[in-house]
Structure 1
């Protein structure tokens, strides 16, 4: 499409910044604070946007301001356009992680935070001290919406189906092992299926449901297990395991770390379980953002895996 420079020159492109803030915050007050202007100025921008686009854009609702269908349709192209303009005016060659000042909001499960968080923090303090992290628990039900509204810069977790503007990159694959206190259960690895089912289990579920991949695998064999505790937090699992004669089935990397730190034991799982993929997820508008791309590359290096990595081998029993 040919650009009509005369017509476009009549439009204040700062209105796109205001529109993006209004659609993100759904509040004139918060949008004004996000842009760094007064509330009256943001109200004036909203009025001008309504006239320009011939739509109310935001209407009052019990929960705040609700975007109209027209506004929802504009949200993604406006965000993409602003990202492209931002990338255009920034000099990528001048990007220097040693001097950049930026905060990244990353959503991830606590299991990944334990494995990657310390290494990432150490690396950033040494190589990019101006980059700060805001780490949040991942909400799998709303993570795509949080990426779309710029509340989250990057998500790390299990593979998720998104739209064309949601980008995904594999960090690593992991297998499963059993974690238990050998003194309490009286078992040594490798444990049998009979022993595996003889003890109650700890289930970690981010969806907070009392059913997991182990239960699916056992059901195929016509078997089931007894659950003692279901929790969404991986970090509590080793302490639960140390407290009672129970068995937890969890990702091998984390279980092996816990075993070495707390004197627990790991063993291969006596049922077939598919390896789990841990991936990064981000909005496509950040593809060419120098700092964002640099952070993704750092995470890939720290994860120690390539995109085509094979599942981890079963760790040596502790």
Structure 2
């Protein structure tokens, strides 16, 4: 399609910047603060946007301001256009990790934070001291909306849904193992299926539900288990296991880490469980952002280093894939 330069010249680009902020914040006050305007100026800008698009765009609602269907349809094209313009005016070859000043918000499970966090922080302090991290516990029910609202730069975890503008890249694959204290349960690896269902279990669930992939696998063979504790914290699990006669089923890499640290034992799970894929998730509008792309490459490299440093030999290998894909495959939440 040919560009009508005369018609396009009548459009103030700042209106699109304001629209993006309004749709992200759904509040005139917060949007004004986000782009550095006064509240009255943002109200006037909203009026100009309504005239430009011949639509109310945002209407008052009990919870704040609610976008109209027209506004929802504009959200992604406007965000993508602004990111592309930003990439055009920035010189990509001028990006230097040593001098960049940036805050990255990353949502991730605490198990991934334990394994990758120390290496990432050490690397940033040495190579990119101006980069700061805001780490948050991931909420799988909200992560897509948080990415769309530009509240999170990157999500890390097990993802099973998304839209075309949500991009995903594999960090590593892992498998489930059992973590236990042999002094508390009186068992040695490998644990039998009979002992596995005889002892109570700890379930880690980010959604707070007392049912996981282990329960599904046991149900297929006509068995069940007793859940003693359900917790959203992977980091708490080894300490619970250390002091009580219980079994935890968790990802092998973090289980081996805690076993070596706290003197616990690891056993193959005596029930068939699918491997898990831990991935990075981000909004497609950040594809061409040099700092964001650098962070993704850094995390991929550090994930490979974690694999190389793993001395247990019991984990599945980390195999970063060379391509980036949209999310379309189905899977299970990371609950065991």
Q: TM-score range by the shorter chain?
A: over 0.9
Deviations 1:127-165 (A, max 9, x none): 111111111111111111111111111000003221111
Shift of 1:305: 7.6
**Aligned residue in 1 for 2:319:** none
Question: Is 1:55 aligned to 2:55, yes or no?
Answer: yes
Answer yes or no: is the 8 Å Cα contact 1:175–1:314 preserved in 2: no
Q: Distance in 1 between matches of 2:184 and 2:291?
A: 49
Within a 5 Å distance, the mapping from 1:270-285 to structure 2 comes to 270-285=270-285
Shift of 1:313: 5.7
**Aligned residue in 2 for 1:258:** 258
Q: Distance in 2 between matches of 1:242 and 1:58?
A: 54
From the superposition, tell whether residues 145 and 30 of structure 1 become closer, same or farther in structure 2 (CA, over 3 Å): same
Within a 5 Å distance, the mapping from 1:137-156 to structure 2 comes to 137-156=137-156
Matched residue of 1:235: which SS?
A: coil
**Aligned residue in 2 for 1:172:** 172
TM-score (norm 2): 0.90
**Aligned residue in 2 for 1:5:** 5
**Aligned residue in 2 for 1:286:** 286
**Aligned residue in 2 for 1:197:** 197
Q: Distance in 2 between matches of 1:181 and 1:164?
A: 45
**Aligned residue in 1 for 2:89:** 89
Deviations 1:264-303 (A, max 9, x none): 1111111111111000000110001000000000000001
Matched residue of 1:249: which SS?
A: strand
Within a 5 Å distance, the mapping from 1:121-140 to structure 2 comes to 121-140=121-140
C-alpha root-mean-square deviation of aligned residues, in Å?
1.3
**Aligned residue in 1 for 2:114:** 114
Matched residue of 1:304: which SS?
A: helix
In the alignment of these two chains, the number of paired residues is 310
Within a 5 Å distance, the mapping from 1:202-221 to structure 2 comes to 202-221=202-221
Runs of 4+ off more than 6 Å: none
Within a 5 Å distance, the mapping from 1:6-45 to structure 2 comes to 6-45=6-45
Q: Distance in 1 between matches of 2:164 and 2:177?
A: 35
Answer yes or no: is the 8 Å Cα contact 1:180–1:264 preserved in 2: yes
Q: Distance in 1 between matches of 2:155 and 2:234?
A: 17
Unaligned runs of 5+ in 2: 307-311, 316-336
TM-score (norm 1): 0.95
